[in-house]
Amino acid sequence: MKDLHWLSATEIAAAYAARSLSPVELVTALLARIEVQNPRVNAFISVDAEGALAAARQAERDILAGRILGPMHGVPVGIKDSIDIAGLATTCHSKIMLDNIAREDAPVISHLRAAGAILLGKLAMHEFGFGGPTFDGPFPPARNPWNLAHHPGGSSSGSGAALGAGLVPVALGTDTAGSIRNPAGACGAVGLKPTYDLLSRRGVFPLAYSLDVVGPMARTVPDIAQALDALAGPVAGPVAADAHRRPFGRDLARGLRGLRVGFVRHFHEVDEVADADVAQGLEEAVRVLRSEGAEVRDICLPELHQMQSVTGVIWLAEAWAIHAKWLRERPADYTVATRRKVMAGAFLTAGDYVHAQQGRLKMIDAVDDAFRDVDLILTASTYETPCRIDDTVAYGRNYPRQARSPFSCTGHPAIGMICGMSQSGLPLTLQLVGRTYDEITLLRGAAAYERATPWHAMRAPLR
Find the DSSP H helices in 261-303. Answer: 265-266, 276-291
Told to judge if 80 belongs to the known catalytic residues of this protein, a careful annotator would answer yes
C-alpha distances (whole Å) from 422 to each of 81, 117, 383, 430 are: 30, 35, 12, 13
On whether the CB atoms of residues 433 and 427 are closer than 8 A, the answer is no
Distance CA 391, CA 354 (A): 36
Identified catalytic residue from 22, 80, 82, 95: 80
Q: Which of 8, 22, 94, 155 is catalytic?
A: 155
d(CA 381, CA 378): 9
Beta strand 376-380 with 427-433 is antiparallel
Catalytic position from the list 82, 157, 179, 422 = 179
List, in sequence order, every residue forming a beta bridge with 208; answer none if it has no partner: none
Q: Which helix (H) or strand (E) is 222 found in, with range?
A: helix 221-232
Give the span between the Cα atoms of 344 and 214, in whole angstroms.
25
Strand order across the beta sheet in which 376-380 lies: 44-47, 118-123, 76-80, 170-175, 213-218, 190-193, 414-421, 427-433, 376-380, 260-263, 295-298
Q: Which residues contact 247 (CB under 8 A, 6 or more apart)?
A: 225, 229
Query: Quick check: 18 and 89 in contact, CB under 8 A?
Result: no
**What amino acid positions are annotated as catalytic residues?**
80, 155, 179
